[in-house]
Amino acid sequence: MIKNAPLAPLTTLRIGGAAKQLWRVDSEDECVAAVRQLEQDREPFFVLAGGSNVVIADEGFDGTALHLVYEGAEHQQRGDGRFAIDASAGDDWSLLVDALVEAGLSGVECLAGIPGSVGATPIQNVGAYGQEVATTIEAVRVYNRAAQRVEELSAAQCGFGYRTSALKGNADLVVLAVRFVLERSPLSAPIAYSELAAKLGVELGQPAEAEAVRAAVLELRRAKGMVLDERDHDTWSAGSFFTNPILSAADFARLEQRVGEHCGAGAQPPRFEAAGGMLKSSAAWLIEQAGFSRGEQRGQVALSSKHTLALTNLGGASAAELIAFAREIAARVDELFAVQLRPEPALIAIEW
């Protein structure tokens, strides 16, 4: 246990104060025991693993940060030829994707280069380039604090949606491990993202060599500052700061009207079909139409010079600076387009 532990070095943003104490968790059993002990002591806590999708207040956290550092993934071939991979919550997601693709397993190749831990992937239903972990997750092992037992949740029980799940915001469920089921194939899943299809030279809906898909995704992500690089401050971020808005047909019609008024006749917001008859638009496009530019700064915080969805730390930035800039962006988008942008990272001791 480390007292008054700085948390900024454990995050990709490199922002935030100290926790009252940091508990490094080296196994699944220790994670369960730690949670039970902290509950018995009535000590507030939060779980920290890869630190890639979190913003911690400058004042820090008046409680315990449970730092998951345990790793280990087991592969098991099934009778149908598919493979089940049980991965620990503390495993590095990007390294796991690399290993799975290199082993000839298909289904997560579009998710290469995403920083963070395996345990975070079902919470956020991590996705990129037309692929989500929801399509390959069979089950999530959790410690249920309310029931005081370890449970296994099926994919259906996880309630996956766009960048969300039944696990998100549910403090009673602590993710311990995730089981993925993948195909043995040299080919990827069908390509569902036009930018990636164009990069690979294939039609939408067609597969490609999984290794080529992984390489193309990494190249696209690097061009957007979305692959961690100590030397590149554009990667000192929490990834995309806002989720793409999901709107009803009526709200999307209102957005189209507002876009026409602000951007001129003929201007159209990006439009994609979403579940339940909803429509998805582009947060990055709305931010740019609201007048914000790549590289725009507020103190030591800036929009990435490569991608307007990432808020970055130029060196020495504070959480207060970052949140203030994020609120400014969201307020302007709401004022112009009547769309409320929502933060994607977890905010620790910060009110949105």
CB neighbours (10 Å) of residue 125? 21
Report the relative pairing of strands 2-6 and 18-25 from DSSP bridges: antiparallel
Of the residues 132, 209, 321, 344, only one is catalytic, namely 344
- The answer to whether 163 is a known catalytic residue is yes
Q: Which residues pair with 105 in a beta bridge?
A: 184
Q: Which of 163, 179, 214, 258 is catalytic?
A: 163
Tokens (6 digits) for 250: 């009526």
Distance CA 346, CA 238 (A): 9
For residues 128 and 111, is the Cβ–Cβ distance under 8 A? yes
DSSP string, 5-62: EE-GGGSSS----EEEEEEEE-SHHHHHHHHHHHHHTT--EEEESS-SSEEE-TT-EE
Sheet architecture: strand order including 301-303: 297-298, 301-303, 311-313
* Residue 176 DSSP label: E
Residue-level length of the chain: 352
Nearest to 309 by CA among 271, 346, 328, 282: 282
CA Rg value for the chain: 20
Q: How many other β-carbons are positioned within 10 Å of the β-carbon of residue 86?
A: 17
108 Cβ contact partners less than 8 Å away, ≥ 6 residues apart: 97, 100, 101, 131, 133, 136, 180, 182
Annotated active-site residue in 188, 240, 281, 304: 240
DSSP 3-state assignment of 161?
A: strand
Cβ-Cβ contacts under 8 Å for 281 (sequence gap 6 or more): 244, 245, 247, 252, 255, 269, 270, 271, 272, 339
User: What's the CA gap between 56 and 79, in Å, rounded?
Assistant: 45
Q: What's the N-to-C CA distance of the chain in angstroms?
A: 30
Other Cβ atoms less than 10 A from the Cβ of 238: the count is 26
> Active-site residues: which are they?
163, 240, 344
